[in-house]
Chains A and B, each alone.
Chain A
Amino acid sequence: MELIQTVFEVFLRTYPGFLEATLTTLKITAVALVLGTVLGLIFALMKISRSKILQTIANLYITIIRGTPLIVQIMFLYFGITSLIVLSGFWAGAIALGIHNGAYIAEIFRGAIQGIDKGQREASSSLGMTRSQSMRRIVFPQALKRSIPPLGNQFIITLKDSSLVYIISVPELFAMANREAAQSFQSLETYLVVGAYYLVLVMIFTYLLKLYENKLNVDK
């Protein structure tokens, strides 16, 4: 009972700062997702292209990104790149997260594109469409629809992964929680509160995704 009370007190005391930090978390996640989706699309196209060179580049990217820890990638980008150009912690973190996501999203897109029945491409070829016309008009729209559930999943992972940028001092939720816990010595309560923030964000996002999926199903 006492715990509930102190948790509530911590919540009340921290929410001005935590709400601002939530905004930072959301911003860094949004940038990472946009960048990740663009990169994902580019690398998925490279992977399914007929050029061996493009395929190899895409495979290399995906292998390296998926084979190394995100936190290493963040540190590498922040300290590695900032020796060449000046990049704020926020942008370094967002770009690292975006590049990281790109590899996973590329695989999502590739899987969705290759999962479209071969008959669809044959039918469009037989009607005289070129490869790119059939991709653009027939395969992509269907693949995109199929990508949405796994993309939603990836978005949720990104939201939670964004906590790792605390390591380069971006004032997002987790960094704030660390600071708060250290100052107040109320670690248990603070991490419970910050966990709840993430949970609520994820639940809101899951709900929105569900709405969107339902809408797609109704349309079809």
Chain B
Amino acid sequence: MLKGSNIHKSFGDLEVLKGIDLEVAPSEVVVLVGVSGSGKSTLLRCFNFLERINKGTIEIDGQVIDPKKHKLSEIRAEVGMVFQHFNLFPHMTVLENVIEAPIIVKKMKKADAIVLGKQLLEKVGLSDKADVYPSKLSGGQKQRVAIARSLAMEPKVLLFDEPTSALDPELVGEVLAVMQQLAQEGMTMVVVTHEMKFAKEVADRVIMLDEGRIIESADPATFFENPSHERTKQFIQLVD
């Protein structure tokens, strides 16, 4: 589904990703953890081609993506991304946020897009908010709209970069619930999060990133009960 091989990424002299190999199977939910600065966001952004990798390859559905040959906008439409700070479009209503990309990018008919948009808003529990502007929503509601907006492009993979980190604690649950539901429906997901409960309950695999390398990759039970790397043990203690 999504495969990165030997991914290297530097910002100037700073080497942030030092050879990442990661393959995500269809319907798999991978949770990515690691201390601040370990390169989690950078890795997600590389998978979404918001950053150009310096070395290595990224494959989607078995096809190696070459930024010089492929139209990146077309690739990005297949890899959805949910951001920490939502990044909703403030000048559009909730429904307009959701149907914008299908109409503009996929050239979907507006009437069809509205039907799809309403379905998705219902899925994330926000049917009643279709016509309000994002500024009127709580953080949890904003993030659920952002998820619906990504889903509207019917991506093959959905990347989440700390989707609940900017939320008040009491709003985290509603967003995680939507993500859990997506996982159950078979969505392929890569999730950067500090919500260890989510990792334990929803992830198929937990991966620990440390200084730009993957040092641990295991099913949640093994990852949390019996990690092989000392740094992983420290990290688990730290977040517990």
Contact = CB atoms under 8 A, between A and B. Distances in A.
A125 B79 CA distance: 11
A69 interface: no
Contacts of A126: 48, 50, 76, 79-81, 150
A137 B145 CA distance: 18
B80 A137 contact: no
Interface stretch (B6-14, B87-95, B224-232): B87-95
B85 A133 contact: no
A127 B77 contact: yes
Contacts of B146: 123
Interface in A36-50: none
Of the candidates A119, A128, A138, the one having the most CB atoms from chain B within 10 angstroms of its own CB is A128
A142 interface: yes
B100 interface: yes
B153 A127 contact: yes
B104 A137 contact: yes
B100 A125 contact: no
A145 B135 CA distance: 16
Interface in B81-130: 81, 83, 85, 87-91, 100-101, 104-106
Interface string B48-75: 1010000000000000000000001110
A220 interface: yes
A142 B91 contact: yes
Interface in B131-169: 133, 135, 146, 149-150, 153
A130 B75 CA distance: 11
Nearest to B85: A119
A141 B50 CA distance: 23
A137 B90 contact: no
A128 B91 contact: no
A120 interface: yes
Interface in A124-177: 124-130, 133, 137-138, 141-142, 145
A165 B67 CA distance: 54
A125 B153 CA distance: 12
A133 B74 CA distance: 13
A2 interface: no
A117 B150 contact: no
Interface residues of A, number: 19
A123 B77 contact: no
A138 B104 CA distance: 11
B104 A119 contact: no
A9 interface: no
Nearest to A125: B76
A138 B74 contact: no
Nearest to A130: B73
A141 B104 CA distance: 15
A138 to B, nearest CB: 6
Contacts of A128: 73-74, 76-78, 101, 105-106, 153
A199 to B, nearest CB: 35
Nearest to A128: B77
A127 B105 contact: yes
B149 A122 contact: no
B195 to A, nearest CB: 22
A125 B80 CA distance: 10
A122 B104 contact: no
A129 B83 contact: no
B73 A119 contact: no
Contacts of B87: 117, 119-120, 122-123
Contact of A137 (B83, B100, B106, B150): B100
Interface of B: 48, 50, 72-74, 76-81, 83, 85, 87-91, 100-101, 104-106, 133, 135, 146, 149-150, 153
28 contacts: A117-B87, A120-B87, A120-B89, A122-B83, A123-B83, A123-B87, A123-B146, A124-B89, A125-B50, A125-B73, A125-B76, A126-B48, A126-B76, A126-B80, A127-B100, A127-B105, A127-B150, A128-B74, A128-B77, A129-B73, A129-B104, A130-B73, A133-B104, A141-B91, A142-B89, A142-B90, A220-B90, A220-B133
